[in-house]
Chain A
Amino acid sequence: MSVSAVDSAVLWLVIGYIGLHAFASRLSFFVVLGSIDDVPSWFESALRFVPPAVFAAFVVPAVVAPAGTVVSPIGSPHFIAGVVAGLIAWRTGSLHGTIIGGMVVFGLARLVVG
């Protein structure tokens, strides 16, 4: 549970990059005087798939294989809570409901499964 792989100086560089890149992206069209018409259509299309692709890439391994290997769905708190959170998000669209419901189920499942 540490950042042993990355020492703090390197981490600061990563954080600096994230901040500068985010700021440069936000500032870009304030400086170049273009508009949305100047954005290549492939870039605009690709951005639509960033959230589903990136979030799924994080979520699926964390739910299906929390310890690095695929676990049995039955009796896995991560799997059960992940599926319940997905269902709550799908049926209600509530951010709060999804987080609270998902964490409650995760806690209960860990108590039961041990």
Chain B
Amino acid sequence: MATADVVAGVRDTAPLLLGIFPFGVIAGAASINAGISPPAVLGLSIAFAGAAQLALVELLREEASVLVMLAAATIINARFSLYSASIAPYLRSGRRAINLPVAYVLNDHSYALSVVKFEGDAATDRLGYYSGSALAVWVTWQVGEIVGIVLGQRVPPAFGLDFIVTIVFIALLVPTLEDTATVAAAVAGGGIALLGMGLPFQLGLLGGAVGGILVGLLVETGVGR
């Protein structure tokens, strides 16, 4: 790998690490706060799926059924297969021993940076650039979670750590409201989840997620005509 391109990957990612680190701390601390054991939180950290981890924390707190937890994680992590489809043609190797770790560290931030970098730039060592970025994110995330695991054991439950997950979801939700269809998806998702609150196993949450996606697709199709 070209060292200069590895360094470029790390450098371009550095500003984002300031956001990734506290997100990792919150994920670790909120997981501990929800009653997950430290080794299990470490397991979640290694799974390297922060949004799905925070969703799991909320679902555990609300005593959702295991099937709802699995379904939520499946929906939230489905984006990784799209990233894979988009970036694998640039990065895939004939050797499985290389593909496995390269795919494992694939994340939202490195994906977004890399595809922009790769388009119309053949000079970059793509695997080097991507590896620098993705490893920086992975290490930052793991350190954040470990700090969160330690802090989470010291923070009293009354501190309101449970609500911080909701605030994080708000911070992630608002930028996605970019047009009529995405707003419709959010209104439907939130509305259905609210109406379905009384349903067993937190099925209302799942209904909101699936219903919101469908409404978004319908509105987009309607508006597109």
Contact = CB atoms under 8 A, between A and B. Distances in A.
Interface in A11-37: 11-19, 21-23, 25-31, 33-36
B218 to A, nearest CB: 10
Contacts of B182: 48-49, 52
B85 A53 contact: no
Given A15-B44, A22-B52, A26-B84, A54 B189 contact: yes
A3 B77 contact: no
A21 B58 CA distance: 19
A17 B70 contact: yes
A34 B60 CA distance: 37
Nearest to B79: A47
Contacts, number: 288
Interface in B25-70: 26, 33-37, 40, 43-44, 46-49, 52-53, 55-56, 58, 60-61, 63-64, 66, 69-70
Give chain B's interface secondary structure class: helix
Nearest to A55: B173
Given A22-B73, A43-B82, A106-B163, 5 more contacts: A3-B60, A15-B56, A54-B75, A62-B58, A68-B197
A95 B209 CA distance: 23
- The number of chain B residues touching the other chain, given as a range, is 35 or more
Interface string A82-105: 100110011001011011001100
Interface of B: 18-19, 22-23, 26, 33-37, 40, 43-44, 46-49, 52-53, 55-56, 58, 60-61, 63-64, 66, 69-70, 72-89, 91-92, 99-100, 102-104, 106, 157, 160, 162-164, 166-177, 181-183, 185-194, 197, 204-205, 208-213, 215-217, 220
Contacts of B217: 42, 45-46, 49
Contacts of A53: 185-186, 188-189, 208-213, 215-216
A11 to B, nearest CB: 6
B80 A60 contact: no
A59 interface: yes
A49 B75 CA distance: 11
Interface of A: 1-6, 8, 10-19, 21-23, 25-31, 33-36, 38-39, 42-66, 68, 70, 78, 81-82, 85-86, 89-90, 93, 95-96, 98-99, 102-103, 106-107, 110
B103 A50 contact: no
A1 B162 CA distance: 9
B77 A95 contact: no
Nearest to A87: B174
Contacts of A46: 213, 216-217
